[in-house]
Amino acid sequence: MDQYTVSAESLLSRRAFSVPDGAALKVTGVTKENFDEIKAKTLHILGDVLCVTGGEERLLSELTSAEGDIFFPATDFLAKKRFGFYDLIYIIHRLRDEDGCEWDKAQTHESIRSNAVEEAYELVDAINHKDIENMREETGDVILQGAFHAVMAEGYGEYDISDVISELCKKLIFRHPHVFGSIKAKNAEEALAAWEQAKMAEKKQRSASQRMTHVAETLPQSMRAAKVQKYAASVAFDFDSAEQAAEKVREELEEFLSAAPEDAEMEGGDLLFAAINTLRKRKVDPEMALLRSNEKFIGRFAAVERKVAERGIDMKTAGLDMLETLYQEVKREE
C-alpha cells in the first residue's frame, strides 16, 4: 500500500491538496495548537473517514484532540467521501476502458464539442440567477468537458491531462508579468493591459487585425463583435463617445430600411454591429443586455397573456393597439 506523508505545517500552507488514488495519508507534527485546523482541512479533503491516532481508530468527526501523527488508511475508491481532480481523470479513463460505458467509449472530440458550449451557458445561467448550488454543479460539468477531451486525446496519442494543466499554468504565469514578473500594475486597467501585451507576445500577434482573426467564429456574434471592436479601439480606431457611436446606428438604420431585399441581411448586420459598438462605449456587455431584455419581454408578454385571458379577449383578433395598451399596463405594474 502506498503511503503519502505530509507535515501539518505543509498541509496547512498548501492552497490545494489531494491524496493520490489508493494511497494512505499520514499527517505528522500535529499539535494542540494546530489540531482544529488540521481536522477541518482533512475533513474537507477526505470527508468523515476513519483515522488512527495514539493507537485508537475512530471517525475523523469524532476526534476531539490529537498530538503527533494522524494516520488515514487508504479508502476503497467507491467508498470515498471526497474526491480529487485525478479521481475524475481515473473515472473518465474507466468509462472509456474496453469494459466501460458504451456511450463514453463511442465519443470523439467532434461528437461532444457542442456539450462544452451548452455546459458553459448553463454555468452562466446559474451565475445570472445567483444559484450557488447549481453553480457548483455546472462548474463541475464545464471541468468535465475539458477533462473528457484530455482523456480522449491521450488515447489518440495527441496530449494528456498533464500537458493541459502544465500549459495552462505556464500561460497564467506568462500572462501575469505584473504578479510573477517585474511589471507593476496599480489597478485593474493596468493589470489587463499587462495581460493583453503578454498575450500578444505569446501569440506572436503584431497587429489589431491579427488579434481579430483569432477571435473564435463560434462565439455568439454579439460577443465576437464586441471583441473585434475592442481590438480596433486598442489602436485608436474608435469613436470618442457613445453619442458619436449612436449617430452611426441612425445612419445604419436608414440604410437598412432603404435596402433592397438582397442587401437586407448585410445592412441588418451593419445595424447590429453599430448598436453593439454603442453599448461597448457605455461599457455594457451586449450579450448580457440582450439576455435581460429577452427575459424582461418574456415576463411581460406572459403577463399580457394572463390579462387577455382574464378579460375574455381573443388575443389574435384584439389588435396591436389593445395589446400595446395591456403591455404598457404591465410595465406600470412592475
8 A C-beta contact, residue 11 and residue 38: yes
Phi, psi at 175, each rounded to 5° = -85, 0
- What type of residue sits at position 324? E
Beta-strand relationship, 50-53 and 56-59: antiparallel
The rounded distance, in Å, linking the Cα atoms of 332 and 326 is: 10
1.10.287.1080, 3.40.630.30, 3.40.50.1100, 1.10.10.10: CATH of 85-174:
1.10.287.1080
Cβ neighbour number for residue 33 with a 10 Å cutoff: 9
Instruction: Work out the burial of residue 20: count CB atoms within 10 Å of its CB; fewer than 13 is exposed, 13-18 middle, 19 or more buried.
Output: middle
The rounded distance, in Å, linking the Cα atoms of 119 and 318 is: 41
pLDDT of 90 reads 93
CA angle 220, 225, 231 (to 5 degrees): 130
137: which DSSP letter? H
pLDDT of 2 reads 87
The rounded distance, in Å, linking the Cα atoms of 176 and 182 is: 10
Contacts 24+ apart (CB under 8 A), 300-309: 300/327, 300/330, 300/331, 300/334, 301/327, 303/330, 303/333, 304/330
8 A C-beta contact, residue 161 and residue 151: yes
8 A C-beta contact, residue 151 and residue 104: no
pLDDT of 207 reads 87
CA angle 22, 25, 29 (to 5 degrees): 170
Predicted TM-score (pTM) of the model is 0.75
pLDDT of 44 reads 93
Residue range 217-284 forms a domain whose CATH class is mainly alpha
The rounded distance, in Å, linking the Cα atoms of 267 and 138 is: 38
The rounded distance, in Å, linking the Cα atoms of 239 and 303 is: 40
Give me the count of residues in the chain.
334
Cβ neighbour number for residue 178 with a 10 Å cutoff: 18
Q: In the chain, where are the structural domains located? A: 3-79, 85-174, 217-284, 287-333
Tens-digit pLDDT string for the chain (334 aa): 689 999 999 999 998 888 877 889 999 999 999 999 999 999 999 999 999 999 999 999 999 999 999 999 998 889 889 998 999 999 999 999 999 999 999 999 999 999 999 999 999 999 999 999 999 999 999 999 999 999 999 999 999 999 999 999 999 999 999 999 988 999 998 998 888 888 888 888 888 888 898 888 888 999 999 999 999 998 899 999 999 999 999 999 999 999 999 999 999 999 999 999 999 999 999 999 999 999 999 999 999 999 999 999 999 999 999 999 999 999 999 8
pLDDT of 261 reads 95
